[in-house]
Amino acid sequence: MSDVKGYRRPFWDTQPDYLYPHYRSTVKRSPSRPLVVLPQTLSEVTGPLFGYDDIGGKDDDLTRQHEGAPLGERIVVSGRVLDENGRPVPGALIEMWQANAAGRYRHVSDQHDAPLDPNFSGCGRLLTDDAGRYRFMTIKPGSYPWRNHSNAWRPAHLHFALFGLGLAQRLVTQMYFPGDPLLPYDPMYNCIPDDKARQRLISVFDWENTIPEFALAYRFDIVLRGRDSTPMGG
């Protein structure tokens, strides 16, 4: 039989709605009709899988992708990718991108009056290991202004995009830093209804993974949707 074990839908208040007017771009980019609930099929529980051919040698170390060292504070960002059942997700592709230490992205549309760093591209990717672990070396991104509202500033953040084992596990999120004074003002952070879910986007200072005389460390665990134990009915 072709009935599949589906992925559970996340608790509603852990996820933002499409429309969140405080984030202005959602006003014209959010569907106005309700989503059609799709009973998962093979199309949704399968998904693209990636291997080491898709990864370059320095993709997990954003400080070594150029001849010189980038400016900024070196940091280790590591954690585990688990599903909601607590099982590690091995072989998950994580793509990460970020602003440089001055708060500027290497993107033609980013016109913020802050310097580009010739030694920093701000993009990385890796595969989680057999225990679902990952580890990036990078520099701490700067905050930057955006035009969402008057005097709007984004807190420092890293963008994470993950492929799990199936399309239904695809996740894009952002990681923040503990104690950032901009968080309470950020519509992106505040769009999540549940306060605890929001706080889980803030990484934890990670003493164990600091490298003496070289780099501080932050821990960020990521949870993808978990599977039901029984197949979905026809």
Partner 1 sequence: MSLLATSSQTVGPYVAIGFARLNNDNLAPAGVTGERITVTGCIVDGDGEPMADAVVEIWQANAHGRYAHPEAVSETPLEPAFKGFGRIPTDASGRFRFTSIKPGRVPGAGAAMQAPHLNVLIFSRGLLKHLSTRMYFPDDPANTEDPILQRVPAERRQTLIARQGTGRHELEWNVVVQGAGETVFFDL
Of residues 154-213, those binding partner 1 (CB under 8 A) = 159, 161, 165-168, 170-174, 188, 191-192, 197-198, 200-201
Catalytic residue among 7, 20, 105, 218: 105
Nearest by Cα to 188 from 199, 174, 178, 205: 174
- Of 62 and 217, the one with the shorter C-beta distance to partner 1 is 62
Q: In 3-state terms, what secondary structure has residue 157?
A: strand
Instruction: Respond yes or no: is residue 23 known to be catalytic.
Output: no
Q: Is 62 in the site for partner 1 (CB under 8 A)?
A: no
127, 96 Cβ separation under 8 angstroms? no
Kindly state the smallest distance separating residue 84's Cβ from partner 1, in Å.
Answer: 5
Instruction: Respond yes or no: is residue 107 known to be catalytic.
Output: no
Q: From CA 45, how far away is CA 165, in angstroms rounded? A: 7
Kindly state the smallest distance separating residue 211's Cβ from partner 1, in Å.
Answer: 25
Residues 90-149 that bind partner 1 (CB under 8 A): 95-97, 105-107, 109-110, 121-123, 125
Nearest by Cα to 45 from 90, 94, 3, 16: 3
Q: In 3-state terms, what secondary structure has residue 134?
A: strand
Q: Which residues of 70-99 are buried (b: 16+ CB within 10 A; e: fewer)?
A: bebebbbbbbbbbbeeeeebebbbbbbbbb
Task: Select the residue interacting with partner 1 from 62, 76, 82, 126 (CB under 8 A).
Answer: 82
- Of 17 and 73, the one with the shorter C-beta distance to partner 1 is 17
For 107-133, give the DSSP string. STT---SS---TT---EEEEE--TTSE
Kindly state the smallest distance separating residue 213's Cβ from partner 1, in Å.
Answer: 31
Kindly indicate which of the ranges 3-11, 67-75, 128-136, 203-211 contains the residues binding partner 1, using the contact rule CB under 8 A. 3-11
Q: Number of residues interacting with partner 1: please give it, by CB under 8 A.
A: 86
Kindly state the smallest distance separating residue 122's Cβ from partner 1, in Å.
Answer: 7
Catalytic residue among 74, 104, 154, 225: 154
Q: Is 40 in the site for partner 1 (CB under 8 A)?
A: yes
CA dist list (Å): 142 to 41, 106, 112: 42, 13, 12
Nearest by Cα to 205 from 175, 177, 184: 177
Known catalytic residues? Answer: 105, 144, 154, 157, 159
